[in-house]
Amino acid sequence: MPKYTLTVNEKKQTVDVDAGTPLLWVLRDNLGLTGTKYSCGEGICGNCTIHVNGKAERSCVINVEDAVGSSITTIEGLAEKHDHPIFKTWIELEVSQCGYCQPGQIMTLAALLEQNPKPSRKEIDDALNSVLCRCGTYQRIRNAVDKLVEEGQ
Amino acid sequence: MKNSNKIKRRVFIKVVGLSGGGLFLASYVPLQNLLANTGDDPKIFAPNVFLKIDSNGIVTIIVHRSEMGQGVKTALPMLVAEELEVDWDKIVIEQADVDAKYGSQTTGGSTSIRRSWEPLRVAGATARVMLITAAASHWNVSSDNCYAENGFVINKLNNEKLSYGELVDEASKLSIPTDVKLKDPKDFKIIGKRIHRVDTPDKIYGKAKFGIDVVIPGMFYAAVSRCPSFGGSVKSYDAAKAKNISGFRTVVQISSGVAVVADSTWRAFNGRDALNIQWDLGPNAKINSDDIHNKLVNKSKADGYEFESRGDINKNIEEEKILDAVYEVPFITHAPMEPMNCVAEFKDGKAELWAPTQNPQNARSEVAKALGISEVDVTVHVTLMGGGFGRRLVSDFAVEAAEISKAIKKPVKLTWTRQEDMKFGWYRPPSLHVLKGAIDAEGKAMKFSHHIIAPSITQFRFAPDLPPKDYDIKEGTVGLEYQIPNMRIAGSIIKTPIPISWLRSVYNTQNPFAIESFIDELAFAANTDPVEFRMKMLPDDSRLKNVLKVLAEKSGWGIGKILPKGRGRGVALFKGYDSFCAQVHEVTISGNKIKVDRVVAVIDCGIVVNPDLVEAQMEGAIVFGLSAALKGEITIKNGGVEQSNFDDYEILTYNEMPEIEVHYVKNTLPVGGVGEVGVPPCAPAVCNAIFAATGKRIRKLPIRLDS
Ligand code: FES
Ligand code: FES
């Protein structure tokens, strides 16, 4: 069986999985990083979003072999001290309901704000539009994003 | 896989206790240390099943309902803590396992707060009274000279204090009082506050354990292949190709299909896909949506069973204007973001489950039945769940996991794919609604009749011979608040083989759509403003009327009545779950595109336990209701569901989110439910708004302007 060495949350880890295994399942089943969520498995919902070299990507449609050599960040590694401004704003505005989609929402937004702390409404919409939330937390996400952008985070 | 295997059972239980089951607030850490420092086990005072206080002063509140995003893990403890007089930041919150001692643990029907309002406050008050009694006898003073605050009993005479922890021993010896006095709402310190959700941080840090995240030692992973048409079965199968998948462990046939067991989720999926199964497609393999639609239409020709009537619907009224219309809604599905899953371990004749279930007591009995063991030998740990909306009231996924574990004699995690979640759901049934009405020369509604035709969930799931008087399909159409002199409400059921069950608001997503749309038709026929038309039909002491009044004011209804071309606003009302809700939706139509710009919602749910949670439930309900109205449709082909993922079963997205304003009526009336009451007004309000904007009356969901 092939072995792949991945850099996840700044740690190098070797996993023994088949080529073609989606990174999502490697993170969840092999590395125990269950903060990255499975929902659609086809790149539609964004719940499995992680950062690959700082960019928001959907881990369910990345094959493990294509992730070798990249720097991967999951929700667990976004801010180990939990001091990320998104976390603080999310708690303050009580964005989350069931919480299942929230790691994907947060990882998507974090990548956007990292690249551009003052994104336009359109850029925000484009980034967040396909991260689905069945609980309907979009209004609070919007309020949280507005607050973060205003504070220049 | 290897990593997870290393976790010992003992350690795992603690992990579940921390993140999946119990919930610890920031201040837990020092308390935990305190606990760890004591040599002896602390003594525990537990006057009832909802709370315990140990001699280290740790107050634990037990949540007996399931947390699926609605906030019960915060709101239920608020009820106990209010009466117990404890420091909110110092409590520990624990998720209850399945146990009859809690009464019903079913999280559905917007009942968690309503049914717990009294018992949980009594639970807290009982403990408080006992702690005060214990302190009073310690000081040798009358209880009247003592009061409780922030986890202490205080002696009014000299300001001496004893902590709850210090009183555990003495309080435990007292007999439990039966008639404790509850606080006056004006003295509430916790109830009514915007208390933050206790589980938000772990959820957003990716630390919280949902059902799908549970790992237990030695666990395998399973996926199931089920017959593509409902009611079919396995004829034979060939697993040769599946066996070649690396990590393959075994293949077993279970009651719902064929399961492949492997050493990871992905390999289990691959193994399942590699099965070659010969299905007996069963008796329903030719059924399509059209057949079900035709059944509905055929039944609509009869009068139906009369649930309610008033006056005479057939009498002629002078100069009456008669209207009739037929409304129709399709199957829809829950599609929570977390697909169905369950971890099960069958060992020594006993089953232990970690299940994201809204219905642990049902999961226990269904699993016991399927495995042929007794209910006492089934343990169910309720995990967090990524949405429920009623889907997790059914225990099919728990039974599957338990059957697989029993067959392979190993613990197993079963994960459904999204496709399976779409195709093997328990759908909200379709329905057809025949409406007739009449207005008189003054524009007053004089006649109203409604005949709903739909499959019955109760009949399908529990009572094949359900008598018509018990038809569940009447939910949301009987007991209407409108005073119309001649009324007839009737229903007919049809049978279909498609699995149906409760979905957030159930028949209240159907009947009110038809009724509130048709009332709008009557208002326009009467040339009367839709709010005014409704006002006239509502009795003066009606809470719904009051809600409508507040709504008219908050939404600016009537002010600037004429919206620009292509824009419109619509109103709809609903009462149910002991609550009252009215909404105004504003839409912009460009071509065939509908954009809901703004929704103003007013709710009267009696005492508001936590305004933030009520608002969140209303926002969520509106998104859920709009998703169904604008997009939701499950169609049947060859006895199975056609849709398979969020690209062909769409839900509302971020861009489509309207501005939602939620207002609530402040009063001290008994608490009502809030999880569902916001859904029913959505479809009619948005359709009424579309009519106002375009003159096009939508009578079929989902809304399609091009048809
Ligand atoms: S699970 Fe990856 S996009 Fe939905
Ligand atoms: S918070 Fe539940 S799916 Fe988004």
Euclidean distance between CA atoms B83 and B185, whole angstroms: 11
Mean pLDDT of B18-38: 32
Residues A98 and A71 in one domain: no
**Exposed (0-12), middle (13-18) or buried (19+): which is B128, by Cβ within 10 Å?**
buried
Residue B364 has pLDDT above 60, yes or no: yes
- Asked if A8 and A71 sit in the same domain, the reply is yes
Residues A69 and A105 in one domain: no
B212 close to B265: Cβ distance less than 8 angstroms = no
- Cβ–Cβ of A42/B651 closer than 8 Å? no
Chain B, residues 646-685, CB within 8 A of chain A, namely 646-647, 651-655, 657, 659-660
Judgement on whether residues A8 and A52 belong to the same structural domain of the protein? yes
User: What is the pLDDT confidence band of residue B558, given thresholds at 50, 70 and 90?
Assistant: confident
- Name the percent of chain B lying above pLDDT 90: 89
CATH code of the domain in which B146 resides: 3.30.365.10
Give the end of a domain, one of B388, B415, B442.
B415
Is residue B60 within a helix (H) or strand (E), and if so which, with residue range?
strand B59-63
Task: Look at residues A78, A102, A127 and tell me which one is the last residue of a structural domain.
Answer: A78
Give the atom of ligand 1 at the shortest distance from the alpha carbon of A45.
Answer: 4
Q: Which amino acid does the sequence have at B142?
A: S
| Whole-angstrom distance, CA of residue A56 vs CA of residue A121 | 18
Question: Do B409 and B481 sit in the same domain of this protein?
Answer: no
Q: Cβ separation of B1 and A30 shorter than 8 Å? A: yes
B452 and B404 together in one domain: no
Asked if residue B235 and residue B118 are part of one domain, the reply reads: no
Q: Are A42 and A98 members of one domain? A: no
Does B400 share its domain with B508? no
pLDDT score of B42: 84
For a ligand 1 pocket test, name from A23, A26, A44 the mutation site with the most ligand atoms within 8 angstroms of its C-beta: A44
| CB distance B481 to B464 below 8 Å | no
- Find out whether B472 and B458 touch, Cβ atoms under 8 Å: yes
| pLDDT score of B564 | 83
Q: Is residue B164 part of a domain?
A: yes
pLDDT tens-digit profile of B503-530?
999 999 999 999 999 999 999 999 999 9
Both B278 and B293 in one domain: the answer is no
Token pair for residue B487?
A: 């009324």
A18 plus A42 within the same structural domain: yes
- B103 pLDDT band, cuts 50/70/90, is confident
Q: Phi-psi bin for B215: left (phi > 0), alpha (psi -120 to 50), beta?
A: beta
Residue B206 domain-assigned (yes or no): no
Name the pLDDT band for B560 (thresholds 50, 70, 90).
low
Q: How far, in Å, is the centroid of ligand 2 from the Cα of B577?
A: 23
**What is the four-CA torsion angle of B263, B264, B266, B270, rounded to 10 degrees?**
10
- Residue A106, pLDDT > 60, answer yes
Q: How far apart are CA B677 and CA B684, in angstroms?
A: 14
> Min CA distance, A139 vs chain B (Å)?
7
Q: Are residues B358 and B507 in the same domain?
A: no
Domain count, chain B: 3
pLDDT band, very low/low/confident/very high, at B448 (cuts 50, 70, 90)? very high
Q: Residues B619, B620, B623, B624: is their CA dihedral positive or negative?
A: negative
Instruction: Give the residue from A30, A51, A78 where a domain finishes.
Output: A78
Same domain, B307 and B240: no
Give the Å distances, CA to CA, from A118 to A79, A122, A153, B225, B403. Answer: 21, 11, 8, 48, 53
B202 found inside a domain: no
pLDDT of residue B17: 30
B464-481 per-position pLDDT tens digit = 999 999 999 999 999 999
Give the H/E segment covering residue B602.
strand B593-604
Can you give the CATH number for the domain in which A62 is found?
A: 3.10.20.30
Whole-number pLDDT of residue B609? 94
Is the pLDDT score of B668 beyond 60? yes
- B422 within some domain: no
pLDDT digits (tens, 9 = 90+) for B186-200: 999 999 999 999 999
pLDDT bucket at B579, cuts 50 / 70 / 90: very high
Query: Are residues B568 and B455 part of one domain?
Result: yes
B499, part of any domain: yes
With respect to residue B699, please indicate whether it lies within any of the assigned structural domains: no
Q: Which of B678, B602, B652 is nearest to A138 (CA)?
A: B652
Are residues B142 and B176 located together in one domain of the fold?
yes
B298: pLDDT strictly greater than 60: yes
User: What residues of B are in contact with residue A141 (Cβ under 8 Å)?
Assistant: 654
pTM: 0.94
User: Do B240 and B191 fall into the same domain?
Assistant: no
Does some domain include residue B705? no
Give chain A positions within 8 Å (CB) of B1: 29-30
Same domain for B447 and B345? no
pLDDT score of A109 more than 70: yes
Structural domain for A111, as ranges: 81-150
The distance of B213 to chain A (nearest Cα, Å) reads 6
Q: Does residue A74 share a domain with residue A9?
A: yes
> B454: which residues sit within 8 A by CB, 6+ positions away?
B296, B429, B430, B431, B432, B473, B491, B493, B494, B507, B510
> Mutation test of ligand 2: which of A101, A106, A139 has the most ligand atoms closer than 8 Å to its C-beta?
A101
Quick one: closest CA in A to B415, which residue?
A38
**Stretch A13-22: mean pLDDT:** 97
Domain's final residue, options A60, A78, A96: A78
Report the mean per-residue pLDDT for chain B. Answer: 92
Q: How far is CA A121 from the centre of its chain?
A: 20
Residue A91 CA to chain centroid, in angstroms? Answer: 17
- pLDDT attached to residue B20: 30
B560 and B471 share a domain? yes
Q: Which CATH number belongs to the domain containing residue A111 in this structure?
A: 1.10.150.120
Residue of B nearest to A128 (CA): B654
Last residue within a domain, chosen from B415, B447, B464: B415
Domain assignment present for residue B7? The answer is yes
With a 6 Å cutoff on the Cβ, whether A133 touches ligand 1 is no
Q: What percent of chain B has pLDDT over 70?
A: 94
- Binning pLDDT at 50, 70 and 90, where does residue B40 land? low
Whether B20 contacts chain A with CB within 8 A: no
State which of B391, B415, B439 marks the end of a domain.
Answer: B415
Q: Are residues A86 and A71 in the same domain?
A: no
Look at chain A and report how many structural domains it folds into: 2
Which SS3 state, helix, strand or coil, does residue B6 take? helix
The whole domain housing B58 covers 3-197
Asked if B623 reaches chain A (Cβ–Cβ under 8 Å), the answer is yes
